[in-house]
Structure 1
């Protein structure tokens, strides 16, 4: 196994978290300038489609995978939940709450993914096994640490400007709760999308072409929704440099690149592996928001960041132990009896059966 085959998904997921942090911060700035969330999603997906579609077309010439009715329906469903519903809920939640809360709330995804994967038999849970308990405890540490970064304050450490004596929990305006509820709903959509990648990648293993189709279908779906909710033509105007930059950056990097990277990583390591990295984005956003946007830093945020990292390594350790014990016992992955075995270093979909190119 080469270096990229072994460490590529890990490096890709770490880089992707910095991408998501830039998306959250730039989007919040653009929406605060008055840009409509529905219009923002349409422009973002349109740019993503224009970027990735030509690449997918020329890359797939001569080796193109046929798209049947079943594949198209699966793409449409994935776009509906993973692009249209997810992004509209997510960015509206950012607008009503904050970028820090949005990234923290997204850490519900590892817990939801773990529950679904365990219920489907893709993740084995044995209360007598240390490695299984490490994955369970680590997942809840990630979620708890990320949530504490948003809702637990404590004494200030940096950027002390506003007095908050006696404040323990962080609550905002009357729209704060609505924003948090929207963000929770988007987590369910994203969890469904990640789990849905397993059968969809099996049905259509060309990840680059798959990403292009999801961006295109997401553009059509989002545009249809926006035309009903934003009938005023003025709402479609981009009036500032930050709005132009945010739309371009999130479209090219946040959508076109990230969907391809996520689909590839899920096919290599499974949905739980990719979902577990989402807490890192919370840490990154908190750090750069404090450094660049001069947001306050509290001891609760620092404690949450440490807990997130500890939980992440606990889950990765538990999955690494799975592979060590499997090799030690002489067991081999048999796709006929275990079609979606997930491990930290074994592909989710076997190349010999599904034609996934590494």
Structure 2
């Protein structure tokens, strides 16, 4: 994969060996951060925290966490974006914070943590479908990677339908559950009950927003190619937008008051670990293993969430959930395998074309 370190005989082998251990471990850690965040967010929302209040505070902490990286690694770059760059940053915040995260929080509040994580794993599939519709990506059926991608898409969609429409038999598990039930019982005075249909619509909207957000990020990177600074400004813009919308929806002071409880823990944890540390770890993984590598570990979050959601929140496990999750895991890994092969082929073709071009230019110069 592009960016991979090649052993050079001496200490290169040790570097590659250390990298082969540290990179997978870091991606497992990122998935663990994500699972814990979803559980904390579910508890915070269940105890009455408003989704846009959580968004506003979370992204404010996230901006503070990433800003030092921008000043350390990008201090020599210009810091004040132009009007066009500000427009792209604001649009990036609208889709990446307000729509994708906002709709996800509403979906999480109406469903379970396990159910919501399933839709997070569908984001690469939805992004690819949107890219195909808009012509930014082609689905080729004449080679095996294209066929495997199509199989992965169909399997993921089928698995999602199984989870959504088929409940099946209640499964008994050997581990204890309801360890945090006393937290969720506090929400009994609120009107936050399970509404699968509304929650599914919110989560589908979140997936679509994430797909468009990734497309917008490509454009933003071309006009403002400073990753850390762009992330800091996006978090600030998203926090401001969430604050304005949240004030319009919930203008009461109590909706914005943070106490030393689960809500404050969720805000600090999400900003530091999921916006700060996870961003750095994923950037390093993409640099050394390519853009597909972090997504290969997404299935782990599904497995962890099924267990932790049952153990900590007492969510029941049904046969339909297990079957649908298995379909989604198989389909996602098949899709990522096909996508990775296509990227390798594209890199190889680009390298070959560049070598032929350089050779032709060299021959032309010799003739001249």
Task: Tell me the TM-score normalized by structure 1.
Answer: 0.77
| C-alpha separation in 1, matches of 2:312 and 2:264 | 20
Instruction: Judge conservation of contact 1:159–1:294 (CA < 8 Å) in 2.
Output: no
Among 326, 337, 349, the residue aligned to 1:331: 349
Whether 1:312 and 2:332 are equivalent positions in the alignment is yes
Between Structure 1 and Structure 2, how many residues are aligned? 323
| C-alpha separation in 1, matches of 2:91 and 2:284 | 19
Q: Unaligned stretches of 5+ in structure 2?
A: 6-15, 177-191, 355-368
Residue in 2 that maps onto 1:223: 243
Instruction: Judge conservation of contact 2:295–2:336 (CA < 8 Å) in 1.
Output: no
Instruction: Judge conservation of contact 1:142–1:279 (CA < 8 Å) in 2.
Output: no
Residue in 2 that maps onto 1:90: 104
Residue in 2 that maps onto 1:242: 262
Among 58, 63, 67, the residue aligned to 2:72: 58
How far the C-alpha of 1:24 sits from its partner, in A, is 1.1
Task: Write the mapping of 1:207-356 to structure 2, written as runs, cut at 5 A.
Answer: 207-239=227-259, 241-258=261-278, 269-270=290-291, 278=298, 280-322=300-342, 331-333=349-351
How far the C-alpha of 1:144 sits from its partner, in A, is 3.1
| C-alpha separation in 1, matches of 2:240 and 2:294 | 27
How far the C-alpha of 1:175 sits from its partner, in A, is 3.5
| C-alpha separation in 1, matches of 2:234 and 2:81 | 13
How far the C-alpha of 1:221 sits from its partner, in A, is 0.9
Instruction: Judge conservation of contact 1:159–1:296 (CA < 8 Å) in 2.
Output: no
Instruction: Judge conservation of contact 1:35–1:238 (CA < 8 Å) in 2.
Output: no
Residue in 2 that maps onto 1:346: none
How far the C-alpha of 1:80 sits from its partner, in A, is 0.9
Residue in 2 that maps onto 1:34: 48
Task: Write the mapping of 1:133-148 to structure 2, written as runs, cut at 5 A.
Answer: 133-148=147-162
Q: Which moved more, 1:251-260 or 1:129-138?
A: 251-260
- 1:205 counterpart SS class: coil
User: Relative contact order, CA 8 A, sep 6+: which one is greater?
Assistant: 2
How far the C-alpha of 1:44 sits from its partner, in A, is 0.9
Among 80, 83, 90, the residue aligned to 1:76: 90
Residue in 2 that maps onto 1:342: none
User: Aligned Cα RMSD in Å?
Assistant: 3.4
Q: Which moved more, 1:120-129 or 1:73-82?
A: 120-129
How far the C-alpha of 1:214 sits from its partner, in A, is 0.8
Larger radius of gyration: 2
Residue in 1 that maps onto 2:221: 201
Task: Tell me the TM-score normalized by structure 2.
Answer: 0.75
Residue in 1 that maps onto 2:204: 184
Residue in 2 that maps onto 1:344: none
| C-alpha separation in 2, matches of 1:265 and 1:192 | 23
Instruction: Judge conservation of contact 2:52–2:246 (CA < 8 Å) in 1.
Output: yes
Q: Which moved more, 1:45-54 or 1:314-323?
A: 314-323
